[in-house]
Amino acid sequence: MTRNTFVWLLIIVAVTVVLGGASLIVANNPVQAAAGAPVGFIH
């Protein structure tokens, strides 16, 4: 494995970890900006 390949492998792993981590946090967060407009609710 060349140094260049190794560096790219590290970058791919880092990007995957960041995007995967963000996906897990956002998907599991109960606080959403909106969860469907309550059109017509009286109270």
Partner 1 sequence: MDSQNEIRRASWQSLVAVALTAVVITFNHVFTLGSGAFVLGATLLAVPPALWIWFRRTANIWALAAYGAMNAWIVVGFGLIKGLWDITLPIFAGTFLSSVSTAYPKPVFGAFEFEISGVAMFLGSLFVLYYGLQLIPSRGRRGALSSVAAVGVTAILLAFVALDHDVWTPPKQGVVKIGVIVPTTGPYAMLGNSFVKAVQMARDDLRDTKYRYELVIRDSGPDPEKAKQVIRRVVNDDEVDAIVGGISLIGQETKPYATAARIPHLCVCTVSWIGDGAYNFTNIPSPEAEGELWAREAQRRGITRVALLTQDYPSINNHVKALKIEIARLGLTVADDQRFDGSVRDFRSLIRRAAASLPDVYYVEALEPGLDLLGQQLGDARIHNVSAVVAPSLSDNPALFEGAWYTDSNLKDIGFKRRFEEKYPDTRFATHMMPYAYDSVNMIVSAFETGQNPAVYLRNLRSYDGTAGLLTKAAASGNFASRPAVWTIANGKPALLNQ
Binding site for partner 1 (CB under 8 A): 15, 18-19, 21-23, 25-27, 29, 31-35, 37-43
Distance CA 10, CA 17 (A): 10
Distance of closest approach, residue 38 Cβ to partner 1, in angstroms: 4
Q: Which residues contact 9 (CB under 8 A, 6 or more apart)?
A: 1
Q: At closest approach, how far in Å is the CB of 1 from partner 1?
A: 21
- What is the nearest approach in angstroms of partner 1 to the Cβ of residue 14? 9
* Spatial distance between the Cα atoms of 36 and 24, rounded to a whole number of angstroms: 21
